[in-house]
Amino acid sequence: MLHHLQLSNTGPAPDLQLELAPRLNLITGDNSLGKSFLLDVAWYCLTRRWPQELNPGLNGGAMAQPTQRSQAAEISFSVDGESDPNQAKTYHCSFNLEEEAWIGQAGRPVNPGLVVYAMADGAFAVWDPARNAWKRKGAVDTPEKTRAYVFSSRQVWSGLPNPQSDLGSLCNGLVQDWANWQRENGEAFSQLRAVLHRLSPDAVRPLLPGPLVRISRQDTQDYPTLMSPAGHAVPLPHWSSGVKRIIGLAYLLVWAWQEHVKASDLLARPPARQMIFLVDEVEAHLHPTWQRRVVKALMDVVDNLNQHTAIQLLLVTHSPLVMASVEPLFDPERDRWWDLDWSEANQQVELTPRPFNRYGDANNWLRSEAFDQADTGSLEREAILRRARQLIQSGAEASADEVAAMHSELQSVLGATDVFWNRWHFEASRHGWQP
Ligand SMILES: Nc1ncnc2c1ncn2[C@@H]1O[C@H](COP(=O)(O)OP(=O)(O)OP(=O)(O)O)[C@@H](O)[C@H]1O
Ligand SMILES: [Mg+2]
């Protein structure tokens, strides 16, 4: 588990500090305030590699750069190791301008357990302690040749080639693995089916695998399918962005866990006791129906991979529905909400742990510190209502012409059932207006 993260002179703020909760950490904040950056840094702290350093094809996940090159840039963090879960180890790294790299203590980094990072654009990264951890050569600790599995969104589907060999691959990718698992009909496929079932948008539209199909005479690949509500087997490449996002998550979680268990068996070791799951924009591409379910479903899915593995989640969201959806499960002992804001007073980005209030619904969440919306309707409606309220305040002094003009303005932006009409009609009869 990642306990503590502290940054200075790198990223969007001069200083950032997080004390992470052991289970669920939710991160909110306006665009460009550093939510994805924080996840990239968390991944770096846990694995000591920047995602883009391992896969230059990624859009994000670049190495953190110092803000002011003339000043020291530092990253400090503390993390529980697999071997000693109650003994957090603290590390400091600073940016070396000549090496253009973050330099920390020498030697083998702590093993944080399995780390999975789902980026906002469908890219993924997996660090597996049974396949990517450092190992001892003689008296020296050396990193594994494969430092982590970092996939662009395309490679999640097509797989990762093995740069050291023409034979075999680091990962076959979703299309081939799913098809192979389905043919074997063994544990991997039953786990995939269970994960898809739990991540489905609702009971009426389950993500149900159908038969393997060919798409074209020129393509020898058997494609997995999902059943459509109309009963058709639709090949995975033809599904929507939302379904692709969820099946990518489902596949990578099952792949990472299955391969981890196999590699641990080869090492004659039990599987990891800790898993850290970073998800950027957890609601990406999802309709509100799905947004209201996805966090609880993801928590259940990772819990079900292995009952003996403790899971820490860092989830970034822009969605008031996601925030409202976690109200019943949020436990202040184990969970925390982090909010990034631009402070006008201090002229800098600030990260604040907020007390998690139950605001009730998405509209109230939009008005909360998470989203800071003064109004949740159109900007035009907001402006006209502001002026209508001012007119109401002037009460009896308002002229008949002003009232009539405001009435027609209200008609131009408010729907027939808008709640503001009740107030307007009440005030009109109170002041004797004839709108
Ligand atoms: N590699 C980097 N090195 C230094 N600073 C960075 C780096 N990447 C991002 N930043 C800083 O973080 C800011 C944007 O961060 P980020 O992409 O994390 O925003 P975000 O909160 O995820 O926004 P959105 O909601 O639009 O995805 C940049 O403006 C920059 O100040
Ligand atoms: Mg982002």
Q: What angle is formed at CA 164 by the lines to CA 162 and CA 167, rounded to 5 degrees?
A: 60
**Facing residues of 75 across strands?**
7, 93
Q: Is the CB of 12 under 6 A from ligand 1?
A: yes
Q: Whose CA is nearest to atom 6 of ligand 1?
A: 11
The domains of the chain, with CATH numbers, are 2-367 (3.40.50.300), 379-431 (no CATH)
Question: Which residue's structure tokens are 């009539």?
Answer: 404
What's the one-letter identity of residue 105? Q
- 163: CB partners within 8 A, 6+ apart: none
Q: How many Cα atoms sit within 13 Å of 246 on the Cβ side?
A: 28
Atom of ligand 1 nearest to the CA of 39: 18
pTM score: 0.94
What are the tens digits of pLDDT across the range 336-355?
Answer: 999 999 999 999 999 999 99
Nearest ligand, CA 13: 1
Ion ligand 2: protein residues whose beta carbon lies under 5 Å: 36
E-assigned strand segments in 373-430: none
At 169 the pLDDT is 85
Q: How far apart are the first and last CA of the chain?
A: 63
* Nearest ligand to the C-alpha atom of residue 95: 1
Phi, psi for 411 (deg, rounded to 5): -60, -30
Q: Is the CB of 119 under 6 A from ligand 1?
A: no
Which pair of structure tokens corresponds to residue 158? Answer: 């097509």
Task: Give the separation between CA 294 and CA 288, rounded to whole angstroms.
Answer: 10
62 lines ligand 1 (CB under 6 A): yes
**160 C-alpha to ligand 1 centroid (Å):** 27
Across-strand partners of 313? 24, 277
Q: What are the Cα distances from residue 51, in Å, to 73, 96, 114, 115? A: 20, 19, 15, 12
Radius of gyration of the chain (CA): 26
**Ligand 1, atom 31, residue with closest C-alpha:** 12
Neighbour-count burial of 183, counting CB atoms closer than 10 A to its CB (0-12 exposed, 13-18 middle, 19+ buried): exposed
Ligand in nearest proximity to the CA of 37: 1
Question: Where do we find the tokens 């269970």?
Answer: 194
Instruction: Please choose from 26, 27, 32, 119 the residue to mutate so as to test ligand 1's pocket, defined by most ligand atoms within 8 A of CB.
Output: 32
Instruction: Decide: 37 in ligand 1 pocket, CB within 6 A.
Output: yes
Quote the pLDDT of residue 422: 95
Atom number in ligand 1 closest to CA 12:
31
Task: Name the DSSP letter for residue 312.
Answer: E
pLDDT mean by block of 10 residues, the chain; 435 residues? 96 96 97 97 95 96 97 95 80 95 84 95 96 76 82 96 80 97 97 96 92 96 96 97 96 96 95 95 96 95 87 97 98 97 96 97 97 94 95 86 94 94 93 81
Q: Are strands 233-235 and 223-227 parallel, antiparallel or unpaired?
A: antiparallel
The Cα 53–Cα 236 span in angstroms is: 30
What pLDDT is recorded for position 43? 97
